Amino acid sequence: MSRPPPELSEHLLLQCYADAERAYPREACGLLSGPSDSARLTSVQVCENDQDRLHALDPQAFPRDGRTAYQLRFSDVQTLVDSLTTASPVKVLYHSHVDVGADFSTEDRAAALHLGQPLFPVDYLVIDVGAGRVRGAKLFRFCGDDFALAIEYDEGGRLKRWAGSPRLATSGQDR
């Protein structure tokens, strides 16, 4: 990993978890941002999953509904893009998976890439929600030519496992 992993505090992660449980049985989505000069994440922006609206408008173009897909509203995408040149850019895009686990799916990869490269310079946090309760989360980062698991969190928002650098073991967990 060329840049330091995001320092995601338990407090911020639990806010994401609460959003995922609130949205169940639909996928939740949102943005995490922090100072551009550090790996810290300092704020959560809950976004509205636009997938149900798009599916209702054109089920052929959008065959999946909000239970199996998420789509940020245009205004949220604009917020993400505009933030990238500010002192507090979006660093992580999060969404939940409903009753299927927290892996970065084929659909997630397709949505995050254009011509094999990430659309945005962000990591992706996937939250696992089963039967209305969060079961954990996984953070994925683009490495080389694909997304790879970087950090795994348990259902309480605590670090469970990390991949790559030993520095990931303590990132943000004492905040």
Give percent above pLDDT 70 in the chain: 92
Residue 175: pLDDT over 80: no
- Do 91 and 33 form a contact (C-beta atoms < 8 A)? yes
**Domains of the chain: which residue ranges?**
10-169
Predicted model pTM: 0.91
> 70 or 163: whose pLDDT is higher?
70
pLDDT at position 161, please?
85
Residue 166: pLDDT over 70: no
Residue 173: pLDDT over 50: no
- Do 64 and 100 form a contact (C-beta atoms < 8 A)? no
- One-character DSSP codes across 99-131: SS-S---HHHHHHHEETTEESSS-EEEEEEEET
Residue 91: pLDDT over 50: yes
Average pLDDT score, the chain:
92
| Residue closest to 34 by CA, chosen among 25, 42, 22 | 42
Q: What number is the average pLDDT over the span 19-24?
A: 98
Write the pLDDT tens digit of every residue in 45-68.
999 999 999 999 999 999 999 999
Give percent above pLDDT 90 in the chain: 87
Q: What number is the average pLDDT over the span 100-121?
A: 95
Identify the CATH assignment for 10-169 out of 3.40.50.2300, 3.40.190.10, 3.40.30.10, 3.40.140.10. 3.40.140.10
pLDDT at position 164, please?
60
pLDDT at position 170, please?
38
